[in-house]
A = this chain, B = another copy of it.
């Protein structure tokens, strides 16, 4: 962490609250509130803000308004607004409203993939190949999510070799960045570090991101371990929105405010204005009628 180079001290935050967060919230927010959320996030200095998901509304009713939300947000120059797409149809819906970055996803756990999208890992990657080909032709960037990298609600342990294999395939297929997600938040720092190290042996560290849920309170410690390994892209969600359908009542994504507080306290740069982020998190928690999961926002707004 004591590197003088500014690149080594810069961490890019990928804000996933409007997608990964809200898709797991019980409270359904109207499209105009989602648009206001993303517009607020755009003013904080964040450069990547996942906006929504073009997955079937049957699966994710919370984001059935994807086209309306994406069309309605202010596109700030220099900020990317990726959207999740499950297949070519979703890709086309996203493109129709002007998306210039998309994200595809696969679990590292065979059991999870089967339960979640009724396909093997290989089948799910096959499905994304047309998306990646089309995106390449269209000049659209594609981010890849690998989920269940440190545990699966169905099969338990997930072999690191499986994580490496899926990450490698998504990267080889054209994803510019692979986000490694501990979907159920069970990981601990030594395991997170070992997993990241194994993946980084096959995919350049510069093309990797980490994505932790705070189900067991381990997210910041895991992020710290991964920063020490060299990762410089971190997914998080303002106000720690979300939750985990596999552990009811559990905490969701790690809160962006808490990640940014830690990074700035360590002398790392994010370009994010923490005060604006805290204000946005407090505002979002009020919209959701729940207490914020961000300890920083709680401490800052409690006084």
Contact = CB atoms under 8 A, between A and B. Distances in A.
Contacts of A261: 188, 216-218
A299 B262 CA distance: 24
A264 B186 CA distance: 12
A99 to B, nearest CB: 33
A113 interface: no
Contact of A221 (B223, B249, B296): B223
Contacts of A125: none
Interface string A212-253: 001111101101110000000000000000000001111100
Interface residues of A, number: 37
A144 interface: no
A250 B296 CA distance: 9
Nearest to A255: B217
Contacts of A220: 217-218, 220-221
A303 interface: yes
B185 A262 contact: no
B299 A216 contact: yes
A267 interface: yes
Given A189-B262, A190-B1, A266-B189, A217 B250 contact: no
Contacts of A17: none
Contacts of A214: 295
A280 interface: no
A51 to B, nearest CB: 26
A96 interface: no
Contacts of A299: 185, 215-216, 247, 249-251
A303 B265 contact: no
Q: Which of A185, A220, A298 has the most CB of B within 10 A?
A: A220
A258 B217 contact: yes
A191 interface: yes
Nearest to A258: B217
A225 B189 CA distance: 11
A249 B191 CA distance: 33
Given A224-B224, A262-B221, A295 B251 contact: yes
Interface string A261-303: 1101111000000000000000000000000001110110011
A274 B148 CA distance: 23
A299 to B, nearest CB: 4
Given A188-B266, A189-B262, A249 B217 contact: no
Interface string A183-226: 00101111100000000000000000000001111101101110
Contact of A295 (B215, B223, B224): B215
A294 B217 contact: yes
A185 to B, nearest CB: 7
| 8 nearest CB pairs, A to B | A188-B265, A249-B302, A217-B295, A217-B258, A190-B266, A220-B221, A250-B299, A221-B224
